Amino acid sequence: MRLHTYPDRILRAACLPVREITDHDLARMQEMLELMYSLQGIGLAGPQAGWSSQVVTIDVAGERQGERIFINPRIISAEGEVEDEEGCLSIPGIRAQIRRAQRVIVAAYTVRGERTEQTVEGLAARAWQHEIDHLKGILFIDRLDPTTLMGLRQGLKELEKGAAEPARRQSGRGA
């Protein structure tokens, strides 16, 4: 399992809900969690790990305790609004001010198939919203106003160019 980065198409695809949790899925979820920790992230969504399933890992505190793998998450309610800097493991080097709900109530399933509901605020609320966006094929840069996006365009072009280089080398084309 590896981190998929912008502009990889898997990041733009809506994920399928998980209907059944197999031993293979459990192993993948554990791998995903370890990938998140190895990248020093606070959250990771299925598509970032090359998996088009509605699975996220979240550990804002980095404590490695309690539930950290969530299946088929959804936001039940959101309130307040706050703007803060946000980045993404899959869009390295790009950060921007993003407006998100201050507080959210999230419902999801655990790896044991138990429904859980959490009320979270601040960074945890931002992380949940960010990861659930990934499951819908939405990147944080999609939430930027056109002027801010223009300012980040050069950095995004560099990521696109970097992604194109290995493909050219593999096909025998390129410098």
Is 83 catalytic? The answer is no
SS (H, E, C) 24-52: HHHHHHHHHHHHHHHCCCCEEEHHHHCCC
Half-sphere exposure of 123 (CA within 13 A, CB side): 10
**Which sign, positive or negative, has the C-alpha torsion 148, 152, 34, 24?**
positive
CA 168, CA 165: separation in Å to the nearest integer? 5
Distances in Å between the alpha carbon of 164 and those of 42, 48, 54, 123, 142? 28, 18, 28, 33, 21
Q: What angle do CA 68, 10, 50 make, to 5 degrees?
A: 45
- Of 114, 117, 131, 160, the catalytic one is 131
Q: What is the DSSP letter of 8?
A: -
Q: At 166, which helix (H) or strand (E)? A: helix 146-171
Active site residues: 131
